[in-house]
Chain A
Amino acid sequence: MAKFLEYVPGDSLLHRMSPAAKLVGAVLFAVACFVNSNLVFLLVMLVIALALAASCGLGRQTAGLCKAVLGFSVILAVVLVLTTPAGTPLVPLPWGYIGTGSLLAALTVIVRLMAAAIPLFLVFYVTRMSDITNAAVKQLHVPYKYAFTFTSTVHFIPVFMNDMAGIMEAQTARGVEFDGSLAKKLRLMMPLCVPLLVSSVRKTNSAAIAAEVRGFNLRTRASGYKDYPLAARDVAALGLCVALLGAAIALTALGM
């Protein structure tokens, strides 16, 4: 089973695209989502993002991702609803009111975060980790140590999640009941940070040693064996992302 943010092999269009084009495209897409607050535009962006996910058969992973982003953005949305008195008043509050504008703003936040996040996360699902690192180093001129640190961090997320699941399982077997209220769950999970921390430090340490004995310090920009030439589809995709960003800026400039 594919884990969070781990490469899923495939040969969809997104899989075949140049890693650098995917990275830059995803960033442009995310920026476009943030420079514009038009709900209709953002909904269109969300649909495009979901279509991209569907095109490479990652519906399940994306659904999981949407759920996670939703959870996070709902918190933001609630804050917004309570603190943005705008539009027709619906519910009076001691410090203002909740209006149609507040709800609209909250909805915008949720849609924006989801639309912006999906392509960025998709990059990790459709690109081998070494390709992201190497393309970032070779084409985007990111120093290797930074690129490696970043991709390794992403690589370790599922490892740590797996560890946490194992630790929770071990504690469940001892009678700790994790299913219950969130507050109770958090209280029970706090002591488990100790074993997680211990194993994480051990793991990162041995990972560092393993990389070092395979010549980590010798690596230069030219080291990567593979090249990532931009194909017509990459240029087209980048053009499309630039166009989307342009449209977002234009809409904002027009005050829409």
Chain B
Amino acid sequence: MIEIRNFSFRYREGREPVVRDVSLSIPDGCFVGVTGPAGSGKSTLTYAVNGIIPHCYPGDFYGAVTVDGLDTVEASLTDVSRLVGSVCQDIDSQMVNTVVEDEILYGLENFAVPREEIPARVDEALSSMGIAELRDRTIDSLSGGQKQKVAVASVIALKPRVLVLDEPTAELDPASSVAVFELLARYAREHGTTVIVVEQKIALLSDYADLLVIVDGGAVRYAGAPRRGAGPFRGAAGPGRQLPAVHHAHERAGAARPLRRACRAQRGPGGRGVQGGARMIEFKNVSAGYGEGAPVLRDVSFAIADGEFVAFVGTNGAGKSTTMRLANGLLKPSAGEVLVDGVSTRDLKVSELARKVGFLFQNPDRQICCNTVREELLFGFKALGEEGSAADAAVDAMIERFGFDPDAEPFLLNRGTRQLLALASIIVLAPPVVILDEPTTGLDFRECVKVMDTVRELNEGGTTVIMVCHDMEVVADFARRVIAMTDGRVVADGPTFEVLRDPAALKAAHILPPQVTEVALILGREVPGVPPAVAEADTVSQMVEALAAARGEEAVGSEADAPSDDVAAVLAAEEAAAPARPAACAEGSR
């Protein structure tokens, strides 16, 4: 039993408390999902449970947090750790060993688990996470999903009463994310462990959490059961069964506008310039790899025309990032040819490539290196030797457009703003092609919309956009063409909705379709009387109306309109916080 009573916390460096007067009771064995925008205080809330505050990050702690009666402030961090196991966000630095088995042993050794118990504990932890075969592997050789499972296994080996995880799926592809949640939920059920997980993927949370906690502005805005299986969708087959409620939430939060646009674009003749434009990036039978290892990419061919918006999808390790490195010449192919605007990357200088292809890396902190925002924006011009009044004017325009403080220190900005700054420092050079590697990872919904709106405007202005993205909602909302990859090969290439609707392509690339496509598929498959056209992914409201008509139920309509639970209220609050949100999809299409 976890009791949080009137908890407030202000970090020593901070001026304002990040969490204010939060009270929450979490019963034993509960699976708790905590979500909310970046900087909302959701991580701080979990730090209070696992003792990281005030023991590692000092500050003003008000109220009380107890775990099974143990006060997390009065007890030492070590004593709290006996009850509460924690998996940190940065998995790579959490690992203290080089081999999986040693990593599992580490905590067991420290907490002086009797020797005769240790082998069974290690076996159990590994098999609970489904990674028994990884026992002797070096951690370095594992994929992101496998590392995450090792991190969880190393903590559950200690048999904690409570397990706290901070964004465990932030860098995982959808299939690995589901796998991690599935294993976690099963373990928790079998052992009666309380799980508290901070997560941005609200769809995952509503699938697995018993208790959903939405934090915003340091306060709990909602704590209750996530809405599951609403109305007519209940019992619909497959992983889509809990989707409509989630989708409704998305819709209310404003995802409807780009979604509708994507739907409409899909009905058109395949978007602007897909076939006709000049070839900006062309791969001709490209193979490539790193060092002496096996090639990561094998015989890949495709062409991307001027003005396209293409998303590359597939699991971690499928070769997407390698493809991006090839496309901007950071990596040269071992066989075949990569052409940028008709010229082989082998014949282009670094500066020429940087002029043609802008590259936004997944981690903005690898890119940001200057002392002020203005310098950062000017950096690209400096590197290319193009300083001057034109450069200054372009930088000023960027500052104006994004509302940056030109004298702010980049590293002190929050994650979303750093990502925007990194993006701005690329597009200030106005390259004809922009490549984005996981542009929305680690961003909350509002930041994600801000970054992606910028990208869309860029594309509408004629820039070719190529992105790698795990978030199929973002892919469905923004990209017009999808290239799916598996094991270094292209397994599907076509207009977004065609690929995302194609079961064979989805299976081959190990991806789950976005909610809107799933809803469309379920409707087309499950509901008699619904014309097949619905499956062509019209607007969601039309589909729901069609369903209502087919079923003769008004439940659907009332369900969709009534803010029938607090999730909707919270999201309405979020809507108010971001006033530029368009009206919900349902209103727009009537």
Question: Is A167 a contact partner of B366 (Cβ separation < 8 A)?
Answer: yes
**Residue of A whose beta carbon sits closest to that of B82:** A215
Q: Which residues of B contact A204 (CB under 8 A)?
A: 93
Is B94 close to A, CB under 8 A? yes
Q: Is A219's beta carbon under 8 Å from chain B?
A: yes
- Bound together, the chains give a CA A194 to CA B367 distance in angstroms of 11
Q: Which of A159-198 contact B (CB under 8 A)?
A: 159, 163, 166-167, 169-177, 179, 191-192, 194-195, 198
Let me know if A152 is at the binding interface, CB within 8 A: yes
- Interface-forming stretch among A2-10, A16-24, A75-83, A98-106? A2-10
Q: Please, what's the 1-or-0 string for A6-44, where 1 marks a CB less than 8 Å from any CB in chain B?
A: 111100000000000000000000000000000000000
Q: Are A129 and B90 in contact (CB under 8 A)?
A: no
Measured between beta carbons, the chain B residues less than 8 angstroms from A171 are 367, 369, 383
Q: Does A254 contact B (CB under 8 A)?
A: no
Q: Which one of B271-279, B355-363, B533-541, B567-575 is at the interface? A: B355-363
B110-118, B170-178, B256-264, B438-446: which lies at the interface: B110-118
For residues 309 through 354 of chain B, which have their beta carbon under 8 Å from a beta carbon of chain A? Answer: 325, 328, 330, 349-351, 353-354
B224 to chain A, nearest CB (A): 29
Return A42 CB to nearest CB of chain B, in Å: 31
Contact in complex: A166, B366 (CB < 8 Å): yes
Instruction: Tell me if A130 and B111 are in contact (CB < 8 A).
Output: no
Instruction: Name A202's closest neighbour in chain B (CB-CB).
Output: B90
Instruction: Report whether B361 and A214 are in contact in the complex, using a CB–CB cutoff of 8 Å.
Output: no
- Asked if A128 and B361 make an inter-chain contact with CB atoms under 8 angstroms apart, the answer reads no
The answer on a CB contact under 8 Å between A209 and B102 is no
- A129-154 CB contacts (< 8 Å) to partner B: 129-131, 148, 152
State whether A3 and B140 are in contact (beta carbons under 8 Å apart), knowing that A173-B354, A223-B110 are contacts in the complex. yes
Q: Is the CB of A207 within 8 A of B108?
A: no
A192 CA / B286 CA spacing, docked (Å): 32
User: Does B293 sit within 8 A of A, measured CB to CB?
Assistant: yes
Q: How many angstroms between the C-alpha atoms of A214 and B328 in the bound complex?
A: 43
State which residues 194-213 of A face B: CB under 8 Å. 194-195, 198-199, 202-204, 206-213
Q: Does A225 contact B (CB under 8 A)?
A: yes
Which of B110, B349, B351 is the one whose CB lies under 8 Å from A219? Answer: B110
Contact residues in A for B384 (Cβ distance below 8 Å)? 175
* Cβ contact within 8 Å between B94 and A210: yes
B290 touches A1 (CB 8 A): yes
Tell whether B106 is near chain A: CB-to-CB under 8 Å.
yes
A218: Cβ under 8 A from any B Cβ: yes
On whether the beta carbons of B96 and A152 are closer than 8 Å, the reply is: yes
Check A228 for interface membership: any CB of B closer than 8 A.
Answer: no
**In the bound complex, do residue B370 and residue A191 qualify as a contact, i.e. CB atoms below 8 Å apart?**
yes
Are A206's CB and B102's CB within 8 A? no
Given A213-B77, A217-B78: A130 and B93 interface contact (C-beta under 8 Å): no
Q: Which residues of A contact B355 (CB under 8 A)?
A: 175
Separation of A195 and B516 alpha carbons in the complex (Å): 39
Most buried by A among B93, B105, B136, B155: B93
In whole angstroms, what is the CA distance A224 to B108 when docked?
Answer: 9
Q: Could you tell me the distance between the alpha carbons of A223 and B111 in the complex, rounded to whole angstroms?
A: 8
**Contact B96 A210, beta carbon cutoff 8 Å:** yes
Report the Cα distance A80→B140, complex, angstroms. 41
Among B50, B115, B330, the residue within 8 A (CB) of A169 is: B330
Cα A207 to Cα B103 with chains together (Å): 13
Q: 8 Å CB contacts to A: which residues of B84-141? A: 84-86, 88-90, 92-94, 96-99, 102, 105-112, 115, 118, 136-138, 140
Binding site for B on A (CB under 8 A): 1-3, 6-9, 60, 128-131, 148, 152, 155, 158-159, 163, 166-167, 169-177, 179, 191-192, 194-195, 198-199, 202-204, 206-219, 223-226
* A-B residue pairs in contact (CB < 8 Å), sample of 20: A129-B99, A130-B97, A130-B98, A130-B102, A159-B92, A167-B367, A169-B325, A170-B367, A171-B369, A174-B379, A174-B383, A175-B350, A175-B354, A176-B383, A179-B350, A191-B369, A199-B365, A202-B90, A212-B56, A215-B107
Other A-B pairs, 16, CB within 8 Å; known A1-B290, A130-B102: A7-B99, A130-B97, A131-B102, A155-B98, A169-B366, A172-B354, A173-B328, A175-B350, A175-B355, A195-B411, A199-B366, A202-B90, A204-B93, A211-B96, A212-B56, A213-B86
